């Protein structure tokens, strides 16, 4: 039986309980890696670990908590004896016009989308140096929009910052591969709990500005590309994943 492309790799996936994080954990495990799934909600995390199957471990972690960021790496290394890759999928979007966004909204967004990413990386970096490992941060295609999508300023700004953080880590640690995956709108738990006014007030404006693709990216498609990055012998700096045109019978969010 042929070995998977990631056979024996030791991978920590943050934000792994739902959506693209869970899909990525499943895809990485299917290629033979040993995976640690980390997320804030322990009950949902346990279900995700069960889906991934034998050999996977779950570690509760709030990426907005510095001690948790250090502990999740420590427990992963204790479980696997080292670390070959980190995938950072957590992301939060607070919708609203920029004039209405207070300090708490900005800090909450940056704590999850940027600060957590670099704190986890800081905790993992010596292990990744030892293995000449890889880091993948999930970014967003929204950073390429000009002007940014209406009512998404903190999110878009945080993803620009995340791209800069990845470049800074790469510059200071050239023996570790840092990649970003700028992915289009995906089917996720987050989309299911979006307030109704976002769909009625904001989505039409994004569509009118040509910023909506007509369909969502499947989480499994994004996960597949992360596997390709981890399996590559080269350093993939940035991926951009956008959906193809809607299939027949599909509408927006089809």
Structure token digits, residue 32: 């033979």
* Beta strand residue intervals within the chain, DSSP E: 10-14, 34-39, 57-60, 85-88, 134-140, 177-183, 238-241
Q: Compute the radius of gyration of the chain from its Cα atoms.
A: 18
Distance CA 217, CA 111 (A): 25
Mark whether 155 is an active-site residue: yes
Sign of CA dihedral 101, 136, 39, 183: positive
- Catalytic residue, chosen from 88, 137, 155, 202, is 155
Distance CA 18, CA 187 (A): 10
Helices and strands (DSSP H and E) totals, the chain: 10, 7
Distance between first and last Cα of the chain: 37
Sign of CA dihedral 80, 83, 84, 87: positive
Q: Which residues are designated catalytic?
A: 155
């Amino acid at each position: 039986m042929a070995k998977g492309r990631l056979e024996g790799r030791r991978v920590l996936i943050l934000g792994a309980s739902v959506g693209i994080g869970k899909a990525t954990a499943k895809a990485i495990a299917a290629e033979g890696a040993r995976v640690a799934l980390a997320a804030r909600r322990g009950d949902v995390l346990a279900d995700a670990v069960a889906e991934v199957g034998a050999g996977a471990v779950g570690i509760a972690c709030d990426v907005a908590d510095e001690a948790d960021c250090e502990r999740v790496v420590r427990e992963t290394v204790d479980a696997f004896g080292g670390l070959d890759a980190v995938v950072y999928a957590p992301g939060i979007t607070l919708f609203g016009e920029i004039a209405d966004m207070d300090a708490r909204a900005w800090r909450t967004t940056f704590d999850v989308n940027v600060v957590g990413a670099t704190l986890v990386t800081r905790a993992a970096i010596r292990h990744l140096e030892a293995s000449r490992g890889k880091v993948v941060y999930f970014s967003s295609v929204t950073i390429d929009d000009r002007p940014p999508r209406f009512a998404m300023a903190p999110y878009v700004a945080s993803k620009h910052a995340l791209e800069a953080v990845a470049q800074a880590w790469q510059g200071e640690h050239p023996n570790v591969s840092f990649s970003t995956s700028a992915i289009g709108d995906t089917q996720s738990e987050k989309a299911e709990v979006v307030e109704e006014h976002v769909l009625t007030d904001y989505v039409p404006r994004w569509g009118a500005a040509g910023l909506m693709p007509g369909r969502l990216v499947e989480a499994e498609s994004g996960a597949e590309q992360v596997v390709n990055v981890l399996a590559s012998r080269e350093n993939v700096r940035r991926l951009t994943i956008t959906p193809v045109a809607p299939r027949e019978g599909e509408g927006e969010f089809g």
